[in-house]
Every structure is written in structure tokens, then in C-alpha cells.
Structure 1
């Protein structure tokens, strides 16, 4: 029985030993095969370059707070989330205090107008009295000229006395007329001043608020009663991305430079252009350092607040020179496709051990092989 157990254990040991040897041989062959495939094939990868973190932000906005000095809101001409254009009427204020001033001025105007009318009436009456008095004096002068000095001395003296009295009365009437005229002119000047004041106040009676930019208008009803909250916020529809660059990387950025903007949450990638770079640094979000803000205009919309990655838009891809052949003066690569290999003419420049190949014929993820001969059999 003991000898039997020894045989069984020896058999198990031999089996395990053989298994280990076989496993080692397979592993060696696998590594050799992977190495061989790695030497013969190359998967195109995205070119490395500058990379920044950023966020989609509001390019421009107009915050409208309720200003009680301008009055109360008489009319709102938009609805929530309405699209507006620059110059569109947003809301209108009505100032009750100004209206009270206008009403008081109108009362003064009416009272002054009555005074003008009375002065004009007195002027007309005085003119009639002057005309009558002048006629009377003229008649008496005619009568006086017809009297004989010798025969009607007493009558002539009486007429002369009457003429003298009426001439005094005429002068008084003319003086009164002059006073009425001055009074009338003064009141008319007052009317003009009141008119001017009313016209000036009418311009302040209502105040229109217009849109300063194209965008979407958002209404917050809380802003009607809370002066610390904007009542209407007009947000530009034009997309904008803000990134932050270190003091070293900011020197590599240029206004007008093309970049790629990748939305982290969706994976969407858009082309963009650097539109501005701040001259002064800002504190980083964690407050531990400083960085320079720069701004990118993406080719498409990105929801406000979404995180993005901003990378250089490098228009070439690196390919090891062993995977590029030269045929008749042209650069050729062999691209692995579903049913074989396709030879492609490419444009590129040799940089040390790599060719910088333009993206128009190859893309990240493409698999290339060294077997670039035309007679390569398809799989």
C-alpha cells in the first residue's frame, strides 16, 4: 500500500513538471509572436501636444436689475427663454413721481393761461377805450377849429379844457395798455417755460431698456422684488470656451491658433480657434497658483458649464520611418483593411526616426504594416 502511494505521488509530480515546461514553452512562443507582430505592425496614435483643461462659459451677457429710481415696470416685452436681437425692446419703466410733477406743471400752465387770457381781454378793452378817446379828442379839435376866437371865447375855452382832460385820460389808457402788454408777454414766456419743463419730464416719464446683444433672455421673477437678483439675464448664443495655461505653456499659444475641443462628458470633439489670451494671470481654481486664461471659439455649441479638454490641432501624425517606403519618389504606407492591405500614397516629412504624415490619408487607430509590396496577399 505504501509503495502504491509513492507511485501515485511520483506520477502526479511528473505530470505537474511536464505541465510547467509546456506552459513555459507556450509563454515563450507567445512573447515571440507578440514581438514579431509588434515589429511588423504599427497602430497610428494621436499626436501628443499641448493639452489644457477648460470649461464652456458665457461669452457675453446683459444682466438687467430692477431700478426703482426709474419707476415701476410698466410692460415686459419678452417671454422667458425668448431669443432677442440687439436693440430689441425688453421692458419699459413708468415713473409715477415724474407723472405727479407733470400734473402739477399742467395745473400751473392752466392758471397761467387764464392770466394770459385776462390780460389779453384787458388789452382789447383798453384799445377800444383808447380808440374811443382818440375819436372824441379829434371831434373836439374839429369843433375848436370852427369856433371864432372873438365870438365864442367862452365856449372855445371850455372845449380846450375838455380836450386837455381827455388827452390826460388817453395817456393813462395808453400806459395801462402797455402794462397789459408786458403782463401778457410775461405770462406767455411762463407758458413756454412750463411747456419746456413738461416736455423734459415726459422724456423721463418712461424709460425703455433694450437688448445690448443677440442672445436668449432668461426671466427670474424673484428679481422683481429682490434688488440683489437680476430680473432678466440675456446670454449670448455664441459659444465660448475658457482654458487656463501655465506661464510656460501660454508662450506657446497664439491668437488665431487652431485647437481641438473635446467635451469630457459626451466625448464630442470640435475644432476651435484661440480668440484671446489674457495679459495678466489669474488665481487657479484650487488657489495654489496662478495661470493665464485664454479663450477659444468652438465651431459648434457646447452647453454652458461643461468641462472640456483643449488640445493643439496638430495636422500631422507620427509614423516610424520603417513603416514608410519610397516608390518612384512618392511616400507610401501599407494600411491594413478588413480583407487585406491597401497601399496609400501620403505626404510627409522625415523627422529623425519618424515621418510626420498629413492626416488626409491616415487617422489615429489605423493599422500599418511593413509589408508594403504591391503583391502582398489579402487575408
Structure 2
């Protein structure tokens, strides 16, 4: 009976002892976990402090603008009432024409009547010339006779006859001069009348010819309506006319290479900017809402490497060569600005020229695309020093 009680007492003591030991072990385990986490955190912070964030320098995304394909040259032919009526259009709609080929013919009834009337009066001028010529011939013959008489009087040495012949000859010469002037005047009148008739006859029929090679499109309504072109001549060569806002105006430059993408079929063609209009496009609302702010737009022209379909809507992609880097990457020192390149595990100090552009700096000199730079260099970093970096952006 006593042995059983002793055994029970030992078991209870053991339980207490084991409970204490278990508590101590649990406490030590908790302390160990806390210490381990603290050490891990310190090591992580140390690693983080020893590593630097880097950035690969890239060119800005290309500027995307809208455009439309149009003929390089377009010429409109409108009904000119002063030329008369259009009697004939010599070409078909959509026909290819060559320089000098007749497009249309005018018939001027008024000019035709004038030409007929003047032609009838031409006989009168011809008769006047004929009469003046006859008068001159008579006067010249008379002068010849008087010259012969004077010669004979001199042979006979008849002073009275000589003097009389001289006076008669002098008077006849005046008659000849007057007859010559009358003939000249008659010839001038005839010439002027002939030219007037010629001009009138030219106005009777007027042809309109193509000033250049191209494709002609006909609108029959324009034959009687001067506000509508009866013929439109377009060049087979095409251009892309684009628009850029005032915010991106300076990014578009003459002779700049561009990529052209057709919106309808994704066809891509190279091109070059040939002209940038320095004046903004006019707006029908200009001055109407003076208190409302508006954005100015400028037109520019692109010459594609190959012709495209008229009227095709396209995207014009202008590659940007601008390099932008964070302001934090630039160290401003007395002798200039610097960044730290990351190359082969080391930091390399690099002089740069930058200009501010909002929240970033634009690199003007000193860096190239694909260079890797340290985003936030500190005082610990030195030229040529080995550095640890975090994942590159």
C-alpha cells in the first residue's frame, strides 16, 4: 500500500519537472527564432544597402502621328465662261494622260461672230492698200518723167527749163513721199485687222491641255458649273500629308526618316519628311471662342519610298533618338555632370551633358542607348569600384 503511494508521488514530480523543462525549451526556441529572424533581417538590409538599382538607357518610344495618302500634285480645271462653252471633253474618266494632251475644247460663239465680221471688213483694207500702191506707182512714174525732163534741159543748157524742171521734180517728190506714207498706213491698217481677226479666230476654239503627266478624273457637272471642277488631274506619285500638334512640332524635321503603316492592311513602307509647314492650320472657329484654349496643329509632308493608294489612312512613326534618365542618376559636381555606368561588375564614372525636361533629364552627350547606369549612386560608390546591383529595369 505504501509502495503504491510512493510510485504515484514520483510520477507527479516527474510531470512537474518535465513541464518545467518543456517550458524552458519552448522559451529558448522562441528566443532562437527571434534572434534568427533579426540576423536574417540585418543581413538582408546589409545586402540591400550594398546593392544598387540599375537602369538600361533606352530611346523614347517613337512618335506616332496620323496621315492620309494624297496625290503629290493635283490640278483642277474649272469652267471658264470667258472662253465660251465646253464643246467637248476629249478624255475618259480615270484615263492616263501625257503632257500636252488635249483634255477639253471650248467653242466661243461671240468670238466667232467677231471673227466673221472682221473678215468681211478685211476686203476694204486690202482695197485701200491696192489703191495706195497704185497712187504710189503713178507718183513714182511721174517723178521719173520729171527727172528725165531735167536731164534733157541740162543737156540743152536751157536755164529756164532747168529751173522749171527742178521745181516740178521737188514738188513731185513730196507727192511720192505722201503716197508712200499712205501706202504704209494702209498696210498697217491691214496688218492690224489681220491680227485682230487672228486673235478672234483663236478665241473661237480654245483647247485645254494637260500641263503634266497624270491621271484625269471627269465630273460632267463641271461643264456648266464653274464651282465644280470638270476635270481633276492628279500625279501618279503620292505623298502622305500628316498633322502634328504644337506639343510635338519640334520633333518633326525635314529629311527625317519615318515608317509608314497602312491602317487597313498593316503594310509598312519607309519614307522621308520633305516639308514641315511653319504656319498652323487655320480653324473655322478661330476668333469665335477667344476665351477657350485651343491646340495649334501643323501640317507636314512625307514622301514614301513607293506609291500608295490615294485616300489611305496611315500611321506615321517617327523614331526618337532622345535618351532620358532619372534626375537621381546625375551627380552634379563643380566641373560638370556625371553618371555611373555599370559594366563588368564595376562602376565607371562617365561625364554627361544633360538638359532638364520635367521630371527627367535629357542626355545631350555622354551616353548611348543600351548603356547601363546606376539609378541612385551614393557617396560610397567610386570610379572602378566593384558593386552589387539589383535586378536591372
Please give the range of the TM-score, normalised by the shorter of the 2 chains. 0.5 to 0.7
| CA distance in structure 2 between the partners assigned to 1:128 and 1:259 by the alignment | 89
Name the CA shift for 1:170/1:217 in 2 (closer, same or farther; >3 Å): same
| CA distance in structure 2 between the partners assigned to 1:269 and 1:294 by the alignment | 19
Q: For 2:229, what is the secondary structure of its paired residue?
A: coil
1:106 aligns with 2:122: yes
| CA distance in structure 2 between the partners assigned to 1:351 and 1:201 by the alignment | 82
Name the CA shift for 1:53/1:171 in 2 (closer, same or farther; >3 Å): same
Q: For 1:276, what is the secondary structure of its paired residue?
A: strand
Tell me the residue number matched to 2:272. Answer: 273
Pairing 1:221-232 to 2, within 5 Å after superposition? 221-232=220-231
TM-superposed deviation, 1:114: 2.8
Pairing 1:157-236 to 2, within 5 Å after superposition? 175=171, 178-179=174-175, 181-196=177-192, 198-199=194-195, 202=198, 205=202, 209-236=208-235
Tell me the residue number matched to 1:253. Answer: 252
Unaligned 5+ residue runs, structure 1?
1-46, 146-159, 316-325, 327-347, 354-379
1:350 aligns with 2:370: yes
Q: For 1:231, what is the secondary structure of its paired residue?
A: strand
Name the CA shift for 1:350/1:228 in 2 (closer, same or farther; >3 Å): closer
1:301 aligns with 2:307: yes
8 Å contact from structure 1 (residues 75, 93) kept in 2: yes
TM-superposed deviation, 1:134: 7.0
TM-superposed deviation, 1:87: 5.2
TM-superposed deviation, 1:133: 7.3
8 Å contact from structure 2 (residues 150, 165) kept in 1: no
TM-superposed deviation, 1:90: 4.5
Q: For 2:269, what is the secondary structure of its paired residue?
A: strand
8 Å contact from structure 1 (residues 284, 290) kept in 2: no
Pairing 1:126-141 to 2, within 5 Å after superposition? 126=142, 130=146
| CA distance in structure 2 between the partners assigned to 1:265 and 1:229 by the alignment | 31
TM-superposed deviation, 1:80: 3.7
TM-superposed deviation, 1:227: 1.9
Unaligned 5+ residue runs, structure 2?
1-59, 287-293, 322-343, 345-367, 374-393
8 Å contact from structure 1 (residues 256, 274) kept in 2: yes
| CA distance in structure 2 between the partners assigned to 1:112 and 1:180 by the alignment | 17
Q: For 1:310, what is the secondary structure of its paired residue?
A: strand
- Report Cα offsets for 1:189-212 as digits up to 9, x if no partner: 331353155346635725564433
- Report Cα offsets for 1:177-235 as digits up to 9, x if no partner: 74354134323233135315534663572556443333212233332222222232211
Name the CA shift for 1:190/1:66 in 2 (closer, same or farther; >3 Å): farther
Q: For 1:222, what is the secondary structure of its paired residue?
A: helix
Q: 2:136 aligns with which of 109, 120, 123?
A: 120
TM-superposed deviation, 1:307: 1.3
Return the TM-score normalized by structure 1: 0.53
| CA distance in structure 2 between the partners assigned to 1:195 and 1:85 by the alignment | 37
| CA distance in structure 2 between the partners assigned to 1:74 and 1:183 by the alignment | 48
TM-superposed deviation, 1:284: 7.1
1:311 aligns with 2:311: no
Q: 1:49 aligns with which of 29, 38, 62?
A: 62
Name the CA shift for 1:169/1:56 in 2 (closer, same or farther; >3 Å): same
| CA distance in structure 1 between the partners assigned to 2:228 and 2:167 by the alignment | 74
| CA distance in structure 1 between the partners assigned to 2:82 and 2:93 by the alignment | 25
1:65 aligns with 2:61: no
- Report Cα offsets for 1:149-197 as digits up to 9, x if no partner: xxxxxxxxxxx9xx98x99799668746743541343232331353155
TM-superposed deviation, 1:246: 1.6
8 Å contact from structure 2 (residues 139, 179) kept in 1: no
8 Å contact from structure 2 (residues 240, 301) kept in 1: yes
